[in-house]
Chain A
Amino acid sequence: MEFNNNMPIYLQVIHKLKQDIVTGKLRPGEKMLSSREYSHELGLNFNTVARVYKEMEMENIVFTKRGLGTFITESTEKIEIIRYEMAKELLENFVNGMEHIGFTRKDMVEFINK
């Protein structure tokens, strides 16, 4: 995975993991790599990855079972919420970009449907 050093790296890793969850690459309830293993895989600082896991746990996207590891949430509703939030962000960027070049909402919908 390539990282953009101009923004916090942990946010980029969280984004990637959310994508993997939403696309099903990471299944509900699946065991994740340990922070240590994942930091080796990504070639990143251990503390960065530990922070990623911590933040995602606070958002209830992953949970830790003491002594067993960290797992993806089993809640399909939660996964839908993540998908919705990602879609919302993509849409906002799209709408902003299109408005910038002079499209109205109506124009945009027509354009998409073409």
Chain B
Amino acid sequence: MKELLDITNLTKKYYNKVALDDVTISFEKGKIYGLMGPNGSGKTTLMKVIIGLHKQTSGNVLINDNPLSYKTKCFVSYMPTENFLYESFKVKDIVKYYSDMYPDFRSDYAMEILKEINVDIEFRVSKLSSGLIGKLKVALALSRDTLIYLLDEPLNGVDVLARDAIMDLIVKSYNENKVFIISSHLVSETEKILDSVVFLKDGKVELCGDAEELRQQHGMSIENLYKEVYK
């Protein structure tokens, strides 16, 4: 396997739970993946292992053939579900903070996106609506120039218009050398931007494949397939 992100026999155990159970999967560059499954299926754990926040119990993760280390961290941009932004900061301060923290952060690009998606840089985070915070988080993650983008529930708590704006942002960020992995409960809204989908169940890969092929094969949408798989 020589894809951008190769995961082999990955297992992550906590004292009373197996969060990831012998997961083997490859993520190819130039694709947008939907990582799906109910709460507790292992999606966030998988992302946290890739970004190095959790150490795997066993198994291998290779990024461009390099095993996970402090060196591979720079290849991954992670957007967690929670709102992690300092409430008292103004948006422009957050942008400055990111640009100080990450050498690969593209400030001009970030400013452009924020303007396009109507996030006022003079506003304090505490004053932003959930829709604007959602857009801001995604914009920050996508403004880093890395190879792997992990977005954990980017549409959570976000209104319909902001959701469309976020998906447009992801579509526009497409790059043949990068890979995007998006976890989402809102399957019906996200499925049209996905190349491939991965369904996790109890820490295992239940199903994965090309979205269009799955539609053809099963004669139904990814959302309906999801309902079948998890019912």
Contact = CB atoms under 8 A, between A and B. Distances in A.
B104 interface: no
Contact of B195 (A4, A5, A47): A47
Contact of B215 (A5, A43, A51): A5
A43 B193 contact: yes
A5 B164 contact: no
B73 interface: no
- Most central of A8, A36, A47 by chain B CB within 10 Å: A47
Interface in B174-199: 174, 188, 191-195
Interface in A1-52: 3-10, 36, 39-40, 43-48, 51
Question: Dominant SS at the B interface?
Answer: helix
B192 A8 contact: no
B188 A39 contact: no
A47 B174 CA distance: 10
B57 interface: no
A47 B171 contact: no
User: What's the interface size class on B, roughly?
Assistant: 20 to 34
Nearest to B32: A45
Given A8-B212, A9-B192, A43 B167 contact: yes
Contacts of B167: 43
Interface of B: 30-32, 164, 167-168, 171-172, 174, 188, 191-195, 211-212, 215-216, 219-224
The 4 A-B pairs of least Cβ separation, nearest first, read A5-B221, A46-B174, A6-B221, A8-B212
Interface of A: 3-10, 36, 39-40, 43-48, 51
12 contacts: A6-B221, A9-B215, A10-B212, A39-B171, A40-B171, A40-B172, A43-B167, A44-B171, A46-B171, A48-B192, A48-B212, A51-B212
